Amino acid sequence: MLTDRRSAILGLVIDEYISTATPVSSRALVNRHGLGVSSATIRNELARLEEDGYITHPYTSAGRVPSDRGYRHYVEVLMAEEPVGADEQRTIEHQLHQVRGGLDEWLSLTATILATAVDSVAVVTRPRADDARLKHAQLVELQNELALLVAVMDDGRVRQTMLTLASPLTQAQLNARAEQLNQLLAGADRAAAVEAASNQDDPDDERILLAIADLIGEQRVAEETYLDGLQIVLQQPEFTDVERLRVAVDRLNAYDVRGLVEQASSDDIGETRVLIGEEHGDEAMRDWSVVVASYGDGETHGSVAVLGPTRMHYQRSIPRVRYVASLMSSLLHDVR
């Protein structure tokens, strides 16, 4: 357990480092904060904090920087959150209520708003049910035996595929076929669609039902993840080094960001989790932290998250992720 003084000094080190991105020396702490003790006393306390794994130093003559353990203690014990004020809430809510383009535009705008609010990368995943179910399907005549199957899921996703039928059908015939299948499959999951297909005598009905089953089970991760703020975060001092900047760009562009976010998120709607540095288990993202919360309406759920260097403004990011997730849960029904 840290003493009160050592814990307070750790908090000052982390606040200084978050603000300046510069290793913090004992002299800087004494000069800036009027601690009423000597630099030697502060050096001794810093040495103990380093021995205990709360801080480290990048090279011999440098001041100290927080470790993952130090940031964890800061987030859980020391940090005072910066609440989302009434004016900021009104601004965010007003922006989101202006959306007229449906769920995709709303999710994209949410990522942009959050990235701007916290100066980090914001990630929003499209809400989906654990087991997707069919809302309705439509068949569109193309040419000859070729038809387009469009399936709308109960979480708002739209999927489509082309089918080759046994014989050409008019649009009126396709509409009648789709109406029959919709009555059969209303609310069906993939397993139910497969079972229904196995009971069909008509080869076209079987073919269509199996195609619907495939669309229900299809995962389109990349198309369902909305990311913004990459240019913002790359202006942080961590990326003045060209190689680090290149690695960050490559990693965030190619990385399965949704996988990282969903791995970090909780099944409990609204619960906010923070994974710092090595805690999320990916060495390539070792210098990054994730703040994530789940949102949903009871039937479907998604995630909203902030990604940034471990020198993240946790005190600002955490309450904003929590607030945006809560707001998204409230608005989800209106935009679907």
Which amino acid is residue 80, in one-letter code? A
Query: Which pLDDT does position 259 carry in this prediction?
Result: 72
Give the C-alpha separation, 193 to 171, whole Å: 23
Q: Select, from the ranges 148-162, 232-246, 309-323, the one with the highest average predicted confidence (pLDDT).
A: 309-323
For the chain, percent of residues with pLDDT exceeding 70: 93
Average pLDDT over residues 106-114: 93
Please identify, among 217, 247, 282, the residue that sits at the C-terminal boundary of a domain.
217
Among 34, 3, 19, CA closest to 236: 19
Do 298 and 270 share a domain, yes or no?
A: yes
Confidence check: pLDDT of 174 > 70:
yes
Do 71 and 90 share a domain, yes or no?
A: no
Do 177 and 113 share a domain, yes or no?
A: no
Which amino acid is residue 67, in one-letter code? S
Do 238 and 316 share a domain, yes or no?
A: yes
Query: Which pLDDT does position 33 carry in this prediction?
Result: 82
Is there a contact between 324 and 95 (Cβ–Cβ < 8 Å)?
no
pLDDT digits (tens, 9 = 90+) for 214-265: 888 775 544 578 899 988 888 888 888 777 777 777 777 656 677 778 777 7
Domain around 69 = 4-78
Give the C-alpha separation, 176 to 134, whole Å: 18
Do 113 and 233 share a domain, yes or no?
A: yes
Do 329 and 253 share a domain, yes or no?
A: yes
pLDDT digits (tens, 9 = 90+) for 9-68: 999 999 999 999 999 998 888 888 877 788 889 999 999 999 999 999 887 667 899 999
- Please list the residues that pair with 227 across neighbouring strands: 123
Overall domain count for the chain:
3
Do 102 and 179 share a domain, yes or no?
A: no
Average pLDDT over residues 185-200: 88
Among 35, 34, 11, CA closest to 24: 11
CATH of the domain at 115: 3.30.450.40
Please identify, among 186, 217, 248, the residue that sits at the C-terminal boundary of a domain.
217
Higher pLDDT pick, 158 / 100: 158
Give the C-alpha separation, 271 to 195, whole Å: 37
Do 72 and 94 share a domain, yes or no?
A: no
Show the tokens assigned to 140: 């569109």
Whether 55 maps to a domain, the answer reads: yes
Please identify, among 165, 197, 217, the residue that sits at the C-terminal boundary of a domain.
217
